[in-house]
Amino acid sequence: MVTVTNERILAKELKKENTAGRFVLVGEEANSNIEAEIIQVGKGALTKTGVLIPPSVKVGDHVLLMPGAGITIKVNGEEMLVFKDEDIIAITDNDND
């Protein structure tokens, strides 16, 4: 397993069901926001004066990310996203609450 540092966040992308059947989605659907579940959070970001700003999310939260946010890495053969708190558009409701 990996450990994210500072203001970085590790998440698993939640795959959306392809409602178009066997067709490939293009245009607006292809560029839609990414929904992901938070797996791990770093300690937060440090300001120039040394004040720690904690992450705005916690493990288990579901979030929406901007298209193309962060980088994709493989952890134990599974693709994960690593991004910063600033890449989060919104925290969404999930079924675990």
Per the prediction, the chain carries an average pLDDT of 86
| CATH number listed for the domain at residues 8-15+25-92 | 2.30.33.40
As a whole number of Å, the end-to-end CA separation of the chain is 26
pTM: 0.80
Q: Give 1-30 pLDDT, tens digit per residue.
A: 799 999 999 999 998 665 555 555 455 555
Residue 96 pLDDT more than 70?
no
**Alpha-carbon distance 1 to 13, whole Å?**
17
10-36 b/e with 16+ CB inside 10 Å = b?
Answer: bbeeeeeeeeeeeeeeeeeeeeeebbb
Domain ranges of the chain: 8-15+25-92
Strands (E), 44-86: 45-46, 52-53, 62-65, 71-75, 78-84
Q: Give 72-86 pLDDT, tens digit per residue.
A: 999 999 999 999 999
What percentage of the chain carries pLDDT values higher than 70? 80
**Alpha-carbon distance 58 to 81, whole Å?**
15
